[in-house]
């Protein structure tokens, strides 16, 4: 009897897996078509100085204008994009739009997210500077956001890429800081301009473990200050979070309280 039950469960499991596989096949076909049709656009979210509310830049966030399903967030297709390797093509389509936007003027920087594997691919910086030059954009106003994963493995190679970017004026920020390996030695070894403290810590500032979260965030902020690295608090939703971060010495902030991601047309900068 137990065996029969086990088999039943297996059958249900298989069916669910089959459906899941078919659905992701569908989405992959959609993604390939969307790349040909260039169905992607950036939304821009403001980043402000916490001390005086001054706008310093925007993060460009990927949106897929799906032909049937409407506007899709990265969470709906990023895993698939990374597994299939298609995300690199999507990223380039987005960078092109962001760099064109930069060349149009406006103030402050625009930052773009880079998938770890993509960042280390052979022609990444060559292609990036090719786009910047073709558009006549100022590289000093473009920033890249990478995660700690991108710093793992092949240190010398990663270091070379980061140095090239730095020499040519493109600053690199460490995104979602605190969620990865957070080997603090990385901060010393690699030229990183900015730490973006992950939103889970910002949420934790007033949550259950608020005391230990305070201590942790304070430690990260003071280390960053010592190393001359600027800091951005991510996912600021409340005035209390804003005030605590400011008081702990965080330089900049990003979050719904300060501005939601929106097409450039509806934000102040452009
Ligand atoms: P991220 O780089 O850490 O971006 C911040 C995410 O937090 C964004 O989600 C943003 O909309 C969201 N956010 C901002 N303020 C708040 C807030 O106050 N509360 C909450 N709950 N969320 C807030 P989004 O746009 O869905 O992007 C998710 C992730 O997808 C990004 O995290 C980034 O890792 C990735 N991503 C976004 N654009 C690109 C891209 O062009 N290329 C690649 N490869 N990845 C991208
Ligand atoms: Mg980011
Ligand atoms: Mg982040
Ligand atoms: Mg994130």
Q: What is the mean pLDDT of residues 207-215?
A: 89
**Which residues line the pocket of ligand 1, CB cutoff 6 A?**
45, 61-62, 73-75, 78, 87, 91, 94, 112-113, 115, 145, 175-176, 199, 234-237, 254-256, 261
Q: What is the mean pLDDT of residues 115-137?
A: 93
pLDDT (0 to 100) of residue 80 = 94
Indicate which ligand has the atom closest to the C-alpha of 61. 1
Q: Which atom of ligand 1 is nearest to the CA of 43?
A: 25
Distances from the Cα of 26 to the Cα of 34, 74, 172, 238, angstroms: 12, 17, 35, 39
Please state, rounded to an integer, the average pLDDT across all residues of the chain.
90
Task: Give the Å distance between the CA of 195 and the centre of ligand 3.
Answer: 10
Sign, Cα dihedral of 167, 173, 174, 177: positive
Task: Give the Å distance between the CA of 198 and the centre of ligand 4.
Answer: 7
Q: What is the mean pLDDT of residues 10-34?
A: 79
Query: Could you report the predicted ipTM of this complex, rounded to two decimals?
Result: 0.98
CA-based radius of gyration for the chain: 21
Q: What is the mean pLDDT of residues 203-212?
A: 90
pLDDT (0 to 100) of residue 269 = 41
Q: What is the mean pLDDT of residues 246-252?
A: 97
Residue 250 φ then ψ, to 5°: -75, 135
Task: Give the Å distance between the CA of 91 and the centre of ligand 1.
Answer: 14
pLDDT (0 to 100) of residue 2 = 45
Distances from the Cα of 144 to the Cα of 61, 68, 154, 195, 198, angstroms: 12, 31, 19, 12, 16
**Ligand 1 mutation target, pool 44, 62, 71, 99, most atoms within 8 A of CB:** 62
**Ligand 1 mutation target, pool 113, 196, 238, most atoms within 8 A of CB:** 113
Burial grade of 78 (CB within 10 A; 0-12, 13-18, 19 or more): middle
Whether pLDDT at 161 is above 80:
yes
Q: What is the mean pLDDT of residues 73-88?
A: 95
Ligand 1 atom 17, closest CA: 235
pLDDT (0 to 100) of residue 175 = 95
Per-residue 3-state assignment (H helix, E strand, C coil) for the chain: CHHHHHHHHHHHHHHHHHHHHHHHHHHHHHHHHHHHHCCEEEEEEEEEECCCCCEEEEEEEEEEEECCCEEECHHHCHHHHHHHCCHHHHHHHHHHHHHHHHHCCCCCEEEEECCHHHHCCCCHHHHHHHHHHHHCCCHHHEEEEECHHHHCCCHHHHHHHHHHHHHCCCEEEEEEECCCCCCCHHHHHCCCCEEEECHHHHHHCCCCCHHHHHHHHHHHHHHHHHHCCEEEECCCCCHHHHHHHHHHCCCEECCCCCCCCECHHHCCCC
Whether pLDDT at 203 is above 80:
yes
Sign, Cα dihedral of 113, 117, 120, 121: negative
At 186, the pLDDT band (50, 70, 90 cuts) reads: confident
Whether pLDDT at 23 is above 80:
no
Quote the CA–CA distance of 50 and 53 in Å, as a whole number. 5
Each residue's pLDDT tens digit, 86-103: 999 999 999 999 999 999
Whether pLDDT at 199 is above 90:
yes
pLDDT (0 to 100) of residue 9 = 61
Quote the CA–CA distance of 231 and 224 in Å, as a whole number. 7
pLDDT (0 to 100) of residue 11 = 65
pLDDT (0 to 100) of residue 117 = 82
Ligand 1 atom 12, closest CA: 235
Task: Give the Å distance between the CA of 261 and the centre of ligand 1.
Answer: 9
213 in Cβ contact with 221 (< 8 Å): no
pLDDT (0 to 100) of residue 8 = 58
Q: Which atom of ligand 1 is nearest to the CA of 94?
A: 41
Whether pLDDT at 171 is above 80:
yes
Number of other CB atoms surrounding residue 117 within 10 Å: 14
Quote the CA–CA distance of 5 and 7 in Å, as a whole number. 5
25-29, 87-91, 143-147: least confident range: 25-29
Q: Which atom of ligand 1 is nearest to the CA of 254?
A: 15
**Percent of residues, the chain, with pLDDT higher than 90:** 73
Residue 134 φ then ψ, to 5°: -60, -35
pLDDT (0 to 100) of residue 209 = 87
Indicate which ligand has the atom closest to the C-alpha of 235. 1
């Amino acid at each position: 009897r137990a065996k029969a039950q086990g088999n039943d469960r297996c059958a249900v499991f298989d069916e669910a897996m089959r459906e899941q596989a078919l659905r992701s096949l569908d989405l992959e076909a959609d993604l390939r078509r969307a790349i040909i049709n260039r169905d992607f656009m950036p939304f821009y979210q403001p980043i402000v100085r916490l001390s005086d509310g001054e706008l310093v830049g925007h993060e460009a966030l990927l949106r897929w204008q799906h032909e049937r399903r409407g506007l899709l967030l990265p969470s709906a297709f990023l895993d698939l994009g990374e597994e299939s390797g298609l995300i690199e093509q999507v990223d380039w389509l987005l960078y092109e739009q962001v760099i064109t936007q930069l060349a149009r003027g406006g103030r402050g920087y625009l930052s773009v997210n880079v998938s770890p594997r993509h960042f280390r691919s052979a022609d990444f910086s060559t292609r990036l500077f090719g786009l910047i030059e073709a558009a006549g954009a100022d590289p000093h106003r473009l920033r890249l956001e990478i995660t700690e994963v991108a710093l793992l493995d092949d240190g010398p190679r990663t270091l070379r890429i980061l140095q090239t970017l730095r020499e040519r004026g493109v600053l690199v920020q460490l995104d979602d800081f605190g969620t990865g390996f957070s080997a603090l030695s990385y901060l010393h070894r690699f030229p990183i301009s900015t730490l973006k403290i992950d939103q889970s810590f910002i949420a934790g500032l007033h949550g259950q473990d608020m005391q230990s979260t305070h201590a942790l965030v304070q430690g990260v902020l003071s280390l960053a200050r010592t190393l001359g690295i600027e800091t951005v608090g991510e996912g600021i939703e409340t005035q209390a979070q804003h005030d605590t971060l400011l008081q702990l010495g965080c330089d900049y902030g990003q979050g719904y309280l300060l501005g939601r991601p929106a097409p450039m047309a509806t934000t102040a900068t452009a």
